[in-house]
Structure 1
Amino acid sequence: MEYRGMKKWRAFASMPEQYIGLQEVINKQLEVPKPLLTEEQMEHINFTLIEALHTNKQVYLTYYKQGQCITETGLIQFVDSLRNLFVFIDEVFELKNKMRLSELIDVRFA
């Protein structure tokens, strides 16, 4: 007898192409439609972004990307409403991330 390792637990993923196809089907099922924001929600997001920028407070940013709602923690560094973008530094890797304001769903203070 020969030890097969993790191969025996991946019966449906024996071929790499099949595994990729199954993963795509699973990801498609997990997708959610982009939520629509009201005027009040957009104003609340704008006020919170501006306050976080001036007070240098940490915020929870929830944004929509490729069918998923993602929440990250970070500091707002720059907001440009004319170009519809803002820059934030994430807490984990301390990297600058540039993002569109239209992708934001919610902003809350940490």
Structure 2
Amino acid sequence: MLRDRGSIKWTAMMLPEQVKALRQFDWEQEKKVKPELDEQQLEMMEETICEAMEHHLELCFTYFDQEEFHLLIGKVHFVDVDKKELRILDFHGDVNRLKIRNLADVKIR
């Protein structure tokens, strides 16, 4: 049976600069990129949020923060147009502030 150790096997024969570059490359491969939303997607999310506020529905928010995607479920409590953020009341009763620019997706739950 072949048991390969991948890049670990070769690091003993590499220069320290090469090992550092290889680790940096691996780290950049795992890095997630914030998606750019077009106007149509933003409009659809806005309609979903307005409908949920009107009918007091729970929403499932997917947002991007600190190079990671996060999920938040709750009701929109307030839309702050000046700060461009949503205040979301989750099922614990906590109010979460979510920047509109960080939104990736909004769905009715």
TM-score if structure 1 supplies the norm length?
0.68
Instruction: Give the Å deviation of 1:29.
Output: 5.7
In the TM superposition, residue 27 of structure 1 has moved relative to its aligned partner by: 7.8
- TM-superposed CA distance for 1:54, in Å, is 1.6
Show the counterpart of 1:6: none
Whole-angstrom CA distance in 2 between matches of 1:73 and 1:101 = 15
CA RMSD of aligned residues (A): 2.0
Higher Cα Rg: structure 1 or 2? 2
1:104–1:55: structure 2 CA closer, same or farther, 3 Å change rule?
Answer: same
Give a deviation string over 1:21-61, Cα, whole Å, max 9, x none: xxxx8987643010000100010111111111121101100
Aligned to 1:52: 52
Structure 1 residue ranges (4+ consecutive) displaced by more than 6 angstroms after TM superposition: 25-28
How far apart are the structure 2 equivalents of 1:86 and 1:101?
7
Are residues 55 and 67 of structure 1, via their aligned partners in 2, closer, same or farther at CA, if it must alter by over 3 Å? Answer: same
Provide the identity percentage. Answer: 26
Q: Normalised by the size of structure 2, how large is the TM-score?
A: 0.69
For residues 27 and 68 of structure 1, what CA distance do their matches in structure 2 show?
Answer: 14
Q: CA deviation at 1:70?
A: 0.9
- What are the within-5 Å matches in structure 2 for residues 57-72 of structure 1? 57-72=57-72
- Residues 1-110 of structure 1: matches in 2 within 5 Å? 30-91=30-91, 93-110=92-109
Secondary structure of the 2:50 match is helix
Give the Cα separation in 2 of the matches to 1:88 and 1:33: 24
Unaligned runs of at least 5 residues, structure 1? 1-24
Amino acid at match of 2:94: L
Q: What 5-or-longer segments of structure 2 have no aligned partner?
A: 1-23
Q: Aligned partners of 1:101, 1:80: CA distance in 2, in Å?
A: 10
